[in-house]
Homo-oligomer: A and B are copies of this chain.
Amino acid sequence: MISQENGSGTPMSAAASTNQGQRPQPVTLRQVAEAAGVSTATVSLVVNKKKSARIAEETRHRVLDAIRELGYRPNAMAQTLVSGSSRFIGLVADAIATTPFAGQIIHGAQDEAWKHGFALLIANTEGNRELETDAIAMMLEYKVRGILYSTWFHRATELPAPLRESDFVLVNCFSAEPGARAVVPDEIQGGRSATEILLKHGHRRIAFINATIPAPAKDGRLQGYKEALEAEGITFDDGLVLEAYPDQEGGYGAAQELLKLGATAVYCYNDRMAMGLYDGLREQGLSIPDDIAVVGFDNQEVIAAHLRPPLSTVSLPHYELGAAGVRMLLGLEEPQATAPTKIYCPTVERNSVRALAPA
């Protein structure tokens, strides 16, 4: 006799501790009920801690013990089938898991969802319309509570048709569609904040290197810049606004032209441009922040926090966008009347700006 029987007759193979062998059939409510000598209704009642029905302490314990002993886990599928709606929230993203920092949208959404007992079902679609439709269909089939439709950069979007079959909220994008709730970053306030960092350090002649490609961010960040200037009584000067492709190369290339402007400070459309600008400026023999102050936008950690000197910038609130999207979906947060809800972009000050020495 080499092998040993176990009394219960449950197959207890050697592979039980690995994940390769046959997994045992999951324990059901009914089995718990039998083991505890009660009805399934009773077990259901104690599992769900229903306040209404009062269960005898003694019974409750018997059930709890049986649950523990058998290692029972509720079958969420059965629960959902009965209730009609799952504890899922779908997140369809065009490139969010691909793109460096926008993954924070997932993170924020998942934390907030979790807080309310929901799990995230995600689909990365690369903007592929067909994939999107399939993803949404699948979410619908799994009876998600609602769908977050998000984009990796702030922009207008067309709603995929099946989205309307579900409760949904747009995240980091918006649509003309009436009744479509949306959360987006407050680009204008962000632009204002970025400019104010410079302003409060005494800078008056501030250049802005904007992006060449059209986007809400392009308009909003410029608008904020103007507002901040105006609030300080500085007349907006068109000549101080440059445009370049919004990446490192664009920023690098803008250095020469920037120098001609006689500005003591620059505000860049984004951190990547600032990174390129650092190189360009350095090649011209200028030092940051002594010769010229620089602020960016986005707060792209890998870059901004580790440039020399570390870059002062404004955060894109991706985490908050995801979280707010979930709250709005669950009806925990009122959408703004007509326009998308704007999320605040906080300022992050590091060492790329120094007080301007009095002339």
* Known contacts A100-B100, A308-B279: A73-B19 contact under CB 8 Å: no
Question: Which residues of the partner chain B approach A19 to less than 8 Å between Cβ atoms?
Answer: 164, 166-168, 179-181
- State which size class the interface on A falls in: 35 or more
In the complex, A98→B106 CA distance in Å? 8
Q: Which residue of B lies closest to A301 (CB)?
A: B100
In the complex, A154→B103 CA distance in Å? 19
A252 at the interface (CB under 8 A from B): yes
Chain B nearest CB: distance from A161 CB in Å? Answer: 11
Q: Which residue of B lies closest to A91 (CB)?
A: B122
Question: Which residues of the partner chain B approach A165 to less than 8 Å between Cβ atoms?
Answer: 23, 71, 73
Residue in A17, A78, A99, A107 with the greatest tally of chain B CB atoms within 10 Å: A107
A352 at the interface (CB under 8 A from B): no
Cross-chain contact of A80 among B77, B111, B167 (Cβ < 8 A): B77
A296 at the interface (CB under 8 A from B): no
A263 at the interface (CB under 8 A from B): no
In the complex, A81→B249 CA distance in Å? 55
Chain B nearest CB: distance from A166 CB in Å? Answer: 7
Chain B nearest CB: distance from A348 CB in Å? Answer: 17
* Known contacts A19-B167, A167-B23: A77-B81 contact under CB 8 Å: yes
Interface string of A172-184 (1 = CB under 8 A from B): 0000011111000
Q: Are A179 and B15 in contact (CB under 8 A)?
A: yes
Chain B nearest CB: distance from A310 CB in Å? Answer: 9
- Identify which of A135-143, A216-224, A336-344 touches chain B: A135-143
Question: Which A residues lie at the B interface, using CB under 8 A?
Answer: 15, 17-20, 23, 26, 71, 73-78, 80-81, 86, 96-101, 103-104, 106-107, 110-111, 114, 119-124, 131, 135, 137-138, 140-143, 164-168, 177-181, 247-249, 252, 272, 275-276, 279, 282, 300-303, 306-308
9 contacts between A and B (CB under 8 A): A20-B181, A75-B81, A77-B86, A78-B81, A97-B104, A97-B107, A100-B101, A120-B122, A302-B303
